[in-house]
Structure formats: structure tokens, C-alpha cells
Amino acid sequence: MSRSSPLADRHILNGQRILITGASSGIGRATAFAVAGLGAVPLLVARRADELAQVRDQIVARGGEAHSYPCDLTDAESVDTLIKRVLAEQPVDMLVNNAGRSIRRSLYRSQDRHHDFERTMAINYFAPVRLILGLLPHFRANGGGHVVNISSMGVQTRTPRFAAYLASKAALDEFSQVAATETLRDRITFTTVHMPLVRTPMIGPTRIYDRMPAATPEQAARLVLRALIRRPKSVDRPFGLLAAAGYAVAPKLAERVLNIAYRTKSI
């Protein structure tokens, strides 16, 4: 990841219409404010209409433009309606697949919880895939588009107890890498953000994270800005890259280290 500020290219987002899912909270909300600050028009999507309206109103109060589209992204029909409604009102230049759900539970405690695997896939994989497929013809007709997926550094660190969550994130990472090979000539590009730990409502219930260093939503939003402005294949943190390299070189050693961390409940 380049270390220079993406804000040097801030003009790139001016006037861009960016559909941001999960914009009612945490990283998505901070991203909406960040892109609006650079002259983009965030199209805000999440289930909670009141929270979305608050984000929209704050952006408008600061002189920006934003639109709110409440939607349950796990409902296929609602997503199809959302796409039709948004496109009837304006073009979409970029999509940030940020809405998500995390589940931290060991496999031994997941024996009768197949729904954990289904609901992480529903919001973290199937919803973004439906949005991408729905917007693809529009992006193509529009001369291009950019998709940013908010994945997790955990895909690189292979953190124990997150099998359901990380598998759903990895599925979208892989989908996008293959999709990009098909859409290149249509100028439709994909960036995966391997997001580190961020202090948001999502990690609130996990006590172990209270004593771990975590980025602020605003710092996380800067990683998303980098993805939107520079369009790299991925945005990574050094620790994630190191963990991925370590696993590639010595997978059994990495597994042993992670197993110790799992048994001692240190991660």
C-alpha cells in the first residue's frame, strides 16, 4: 500500500455518486462523511431509516449532497427494488460493499448453529454479489465503475473463532478477483480492503477487543478513500500482509501458533 496521502488526488471523487452500504453506523457512516467532504454524493443504504436520515441531514447541513435508501440487503427482492429506484433517480459511479455482520464463535460451539454460517453469507457475500450483478449493466453502459469491498484483515491472519465470518469475507474477495478478470475492458474495477480492527458497534460485544488497539472509524474511512481514489487491487495493513506471507511460507507453523492463541484465549 502506498504511504502517500490519497487526499492528494481528492478531486477524483468530486461529483461521484457512491452507493455505500451500512452507512448508518461505524465505518460506512464515517466513509459517507469522508466522501461527501471531497465533493462526492453518497447514496446511503442500511436498514435503519432514522440513522440514515441523520447522516444525510448532517451532510446536507455541511453543504453537501446525500440521499438515503433504507433497505434490508438480505432480502433479494428489496435489493432489486433498491437498484431500480436508485438508478431511476441518478447514475451510480461507485459501490462500497460495507454492510456486514461478524460472528465470533468456535466450531465446537457451533454444532447446532448452521444459521450462523447462513446469515454471515447472506449479508457479507450474497448481498454484495446481488448488488454488483445488479449494477454491472449500468456500469458498463456508463463507461465504467468501481467496487470497493470491505473485507477483513482476519482473512489474512486466519483468526480462530471466526470461521463463519471470514469464510463469507473470503468468498467475496475471491468473487471480485474473478469478476475483475471479466470486467477489465469495461473499465469496471474492484478493490478489496483488508480492514484492521476498528472501534465500532460491531466489536462492542466482544470484551477481548476492549484491550486491543483499534482504529477509529475515521481512520478506517481513510483506507476506504484510498480504495476509491487509487483503485488498487487491495488495501492492506502491514500486519495483514505479514500474516498472509507467514501462512504462505509456513502454514503448519502458522496453524500451530494460531492454535496456541486459540487455546489460551489470547485472540
Ligand X SMILES: NC(=O)c1ccc[n+]([C@@H]2O[C@H](COP(=O)([O-])OP(=O)(O)OC[C@H]3O[C@@H](n4cnc5c(N)ncnc54)[C@H](OP(=O)(O)O)[C@@H]3O)[C@@H](O)[C@H]2O)c1
Backbone angles phi, psi at 45, to 5 degrees: -125, 135
Residues 6+ apart with CB under 8 A from 190: 146, 147, 148, 149, 176, 177, 179, 180, 183, 233
Among 137, 143, 201, 251, binds ligand X (CB under 6 A): 201
Interface residues for ligand X in 43-62 (CB under 6 A)? 46-48, 51
**Among 165, 209, 247, 262, the one annotated catalytic:** 165
25 makes contact with ligand X (CB under 6 A): yes
Q: How many helices (H) and strands (E) does the chain have?
A: 10, 7
Report if residue 150 touches ligand X, rule: CB under 6 A. yes
Contact pick of 59, 86, 203, 235 for ligand X (by CB under 6 A):
203
Q: Nearest 5 degrees, angle CA 213-CA 127-CA 171?
A: 65
- Map residue 118 onto helix, strand or coil: helix
Supply the minimum distance, in Å, between the C-beta of residue 112 and ligand X: 23
19 binds ligand X, rule: CB under 6 A: no
In the chain, the N- to C-terminal Cα span, in Å, equals 26
Question: For this structure, is 262 an active site residue?
Answer: no
Site string for ligand X, 81-110 (x = CB under 6 A): -----------------xxxxx--------
Using CB under 6 A, count the residues that bind ligand X: 29
The residues assigned a catalytic role are: 165
